[in-house]
Amino acid sequence: MALQKPPVFLNLLQIRLPIAGIMSIIHRASGMLMVLLIPLSIYLLDLSLTDEQGFTAVGSLLHGTVGSLILLLLLWVLLHHLYSGIRYLLIDVEIGVDRPAYRYTAWAVTLLAPFSALLLLGIL
């Protein structure tokens, strides 16, 4: 029986992932963030639907700096997850599987999601 080598320590900061790998990690993180933001979204919706004071409170909260950042994060998470999910569905039907296409679509999803979020919030 041969001796096995001990596992090698991998420094994740030195590994150069392709853009499709980075986009895949962001897709998973965006899914996790969507789940984590569900309670906050439900609370704000419930508060805004209780009465007029609750509605104005939520409106003033979301128009502040922190609220705008939360909205930007939520919108970016939703759009990135949507765009990358469409990309994965197209890959499932073998569209965009070859090497240049999967790189271009990964770059497109990674750059289009924050741009779309900023555009929809009216920042751009």
pLDDT tens for 4-32 read 887 777 776 777 888 999 899 999 999 99
The predicted model gives 96-100 an average pLDDT of: 86
Which of 77, 76, 85, 73 shows the shortest CA–CA distance to 24? 85
Record the tokens describing residue 45, joined without a space.
């919706």
pLDDT-based confidence at residue 114 (cuts at 50, 70, 90): very high
Record the tokens describing residue 119, joined without a space.
């555009």
Answer yes or no: is pLDDT of 112 > 70. Answer: yes
